[in-house]
Amino acid sequence: MEKRSLEELDIRSWDETFDAAVQNKMTEALEGGKILYFPSLSFSLSPQELLLLDPEKMSPKSKNISFDLRSNGLQGMQCTQEEEEVMRAMIKRFAISSRKLLDALIPHYQSSVIQAKTSFRPVEIFGRKSSYRKDDTRLHVDSFPSNPVKGQRIMRVFTNINPNGQPRVWRAGEPFKDVVEKIAPRVSNPIPGVNHLLKLLKITKSLRTPYDHYMLQIHDEMKRDMNYQQTVPQEEIQFPPGSSWIVFTDLVSHAAMSGQHVLEQTFYLPAKGQKHPEYSPLATLERYFNRQLI
């Protein structure tokens, strides 16, 4: 699969070791806005785990089943206690495997990367009804309305574990700097004091910085503008079952078009923890607005 958005690496184990040349190449590609793609990196499931690949095991109000490695907490399931323990073990194993791979592939991040929640997404994306802001089939860069990241990078590891041969289909859009040039002129400036009100009302978990404000505005405006969605340069990428990929989802314009049954691990990384902090969305937006945003 030759795609301009991908940097491909043929590995078959989550315990791989890498020489310095591969580590440097993958780091440069990831920070430069490419998706690191591992076509042969699968995540094996036991017969018990395969039985849990069922959207009916997810709580009706949940978007996914999530796991927190720090607390061992599992949320979003409706099932028996035994099934819950099997699901917990499966997602925990993916969380540990993802961190092991990241530490080996990009050791530069080891001292500053923060492991956040892990999720299993069993529901088919295509045809799912939602507001335009929550519609992930539209091109966007990630920003969290209730959880300000304050300039930290959002990095994700995905694996397609679909048992029926169904690919995870994405669209990848234009480079982030081009997104900013097109979309940023339309966004509004933060209203003084609103971030404190949002925190007081518990709409946000912490104070929303100007960076978070602009990223959320860009996210929403990208999704709102259907002309942009249809005319912006983009390409389709199919991630087949048994493949994995790593991407900065706050940098790479992406849309998840279809697919079912994927594991996902989120990491946060301070921009200064990058090899090239100047490539971060924070640095790009600070150059555009000509001021500090955190």
1 is a domain residue? no
> Could you tell me if 88 and 72 are in contact, meaning their C-beta atoms sit under 8 angstroms apart?
yes
> Could you tell me if 130 and 159 are in contact, meaning their C-beta atoms sit under 8 angstroms apart?
no
The DSSP annotation for 194-227 comes to HHHHHHHTTSSSSPPPHHHHHHHHHHHHHHH-HH
293 is a domain residue? no
pLDDT 10s digits, 7-28: 999 999 999 999 999 999 999 9
pLDDT higher than 70, residue 1: no
122 is a domain residue? yes
287 is a domain residue? no
CA distance 210 to 188: 11
Distances (CA, A) of 21 to 28, 107, 171: 11, 12, 29
Closest CA to 10 of 41, 35, 34, 31: 41
Residue 97: enclosing H or E segment and its boundaries? helix 81-105
290 is a domain residue? no
Specify the amino acid at residue 234: Q
User: Would you place residue 65 in the very low, low, confident or very high pLDDT band (cuts 50, 70, 90)?
Assistant: very high
Distance of alpha carbon 117 from its chain centroid, rounded?
11
Residue 230: enclosing H or E segment and its boundaries? helix 226-231
Looking at residues 116-123, what average pLDDT do you find? 95
The confidence score (pLDDT) of residue 223 equals 98
pLDDT 10s digits, 195-251: 999 999 999 999 999 999 999 999 999 999 999 999 999 999 999 999 999 999 999
Looking at residues 89-112, what average pLDDT do you find? 98
291 is a domain residue? no
Instruction: State how beta strands 168-172 and 254-258 pair.
Output: antiparallel
The confidence score (pLDDT) of residue 130 equals 77
Provide the domain count of the chain: 1
The pair of three-digit structure tokens given for residue 179, joined into one six-digit string = 């997104």
289 is a domain residue? no
Q: At 189, which CATH number? A: 2.60.120
292 is a domain residue? no
The confidence score (pLDDT) of residue 2 equals 57
Write out the residue range of the structural domain in which residue 27 sits. 6-281
Neighbour-count burial for 139-167, b at 16+ CB within 10 Å, e otherwise: bbbbbbeeebbbbbbbbbbbbbbbeeebb
Residues in a beta bridge with 8:
37
